[in-house]
Structure 1
Amino acid sequence: MTDSRSTPAASRSTSVPDPRGSGRWLMACARLSMLIGIVSLMVAALALLVFGAVETYRHIVMIIAPSGAGLTNREVFLASIKLVDLVLLATILQVVAIGLYALFIDREVPVPKWLRTSNVDDLKSKLAGIVAVMLGVLFLEAVIEGGEGEAILYLGLAIAAVVAALSYFIVSHVEGGD
């Protein structure tokens, strides 16, 4: 014969949810929700790379075409630098996407050593470094386009200030440790 008092108590204890289980479920959902941002960044990077491939084709046709004989070195250099800038932007998007994936989804994702991300500060440092390079490309584009002296000076000073700030950010996070 069973004790009828133990049955209601047993059913009550199994109906109470484990607070740790619901917290884990919530954290798992939060981690997986990052997939929206990760996939968005990867799709945007892919779109930029496809656009870059189309622009590369146009660039080559422009150079090879009979009408391209009238192009100056400056125009060819500028078009080439813009292609590099486009690929750098796609690279930024991919680096951030891969870094977020490594941080939120799979820490063991196989990536080159330089792309490993162990915390958000690593990701921000990588982003800051790539942005600094892009700003350098932007300045080079302005110089090649033949901007006015004073405008180039102000642009160069502004870019130098931003690159110095980004460099300080990177160095302070590397020296400061994790």
Structure 2
Amino acid sequence: MIRRLLAATRYIVLLPIIGTFIAAVGLMIYETLALVTTLLDLIHKGTISPKDAKTLAVGLIEVVDIFLIGIAIYMISISLYALFIDDTLPFPRWLTVADLEAVKANLVSVVIAVLAVLFLREAVAWDGEQNILAFGSALALIIAALSLYLGVKAKHKE
């Protein structure tokens, strides 16, 4: 009886699975609508200038950043589903999930990409006044630490 009860409690993980799935879909829909609105406003404005191009480039980089975050949340949702509910879901090889460590590794990989996009956004928007060297250096240290974490985990797994 205890064994069946404990086995059934794995379905409580449906709460974060559903929550993260809704959050991911909502975030991606919201950002898609924001992108369409921005492009329509730009077309409606009718002017073309280097400043508008730079503003558009920064906006598109921010869109990519939000999409990456949405994808990371989606990956967490389907990974938790595969781990706790149904491990027969067909996944691409790069998204194969064997345990929670694999979920964390996938998340760390996306965080690295998000941090790189964050710096790219700041670099494109840079006006020459702010010191982006310190910001870039801090991000580089974080990315290096996360990459080291992934490398150590990969070697430890072998």
Q: TM-score, normalised by structure 2?
A: 0.91
CA distance in 1 between partners of 2:117 and 2:79 (Å): 24
Find 1:57's aligned residue among 29, 36, 55: 36
Change (3 A) 1:147 1:128: farther
C-alpha distance in 2 between matches for 1:152 and 1:42: 35
Residue 41 (str. 1) matches residue 5 (str. 2): no
Amino acid paired to 1:39: I
2:131 maps to which residue? 151
Residue 102 (1) aligns with residue 95 (2): no
Q: Which residue of 1 aligns with 2:65?
A: 85
The CA distance in 2 between the partners of 1:162 and 1:112, in whole Å, is: 28
TM-superposition CA deviations, 1:7-45 (whole Å, max 9, x none): xxxxxxxxxxxxxx313312321x101100010000000
* Deviations 1:143-169 (CA, angstroms, capped at 9, x unpaired): 122155663111111111110111011
Aligned length: 157
Contact kept, 8 Å, 1:62 with 1:68, in 2: the verdict is: no
TM-score, structure 1 as length reference = 0.82
For residues 31-70 of structure 1, the C-alpha deviation after alignment (integer angstroms, 9 at most, x for no partner) is 1011000100000001101111111111211331234434
Q: Which runs of 4+ in 1 moved over 6 A?
A: none
Partner of 1:117, secondary structure, is coil
Q: Which has the larger radius of gyration?
A: 1
After superposition, the CA RMSD in angstroms is 1.7
Compute the displacement of 1:90 (Å): 0.5
Give the percent of matched residue pairs that are identical in Structure 1 and Structure 2. 27
**C-alpha distance in 2 between matches for 1:113 and 1:25:** 33
Q: Which amino acid aligns with 1:134?
A: V
Instruction: Specify every segment of 5 or more residues in structure 1 that has no aligned partner in the other structure, as ranges.
Output: 1-20
Equivalent residue runs for 1:23-34 within 5 Å: 23-29=3-9, 31-34=10-13
Q: Which has the higher contact order (CA 8 A, sep 6+)?
A: 2
- Provide the rounded CA distance (Å) in 2 between the counterparts of 1:75 and 1:148: 16
Deviation at 1:125, TM superposition (A): 0.7
Equivalent residue number for residue 17 of structure 1: none
Alignment partners' CA distance in 2, 1:146 and 1:128:
27
Identify unmatched segments of 5+ residues in structure 2: none
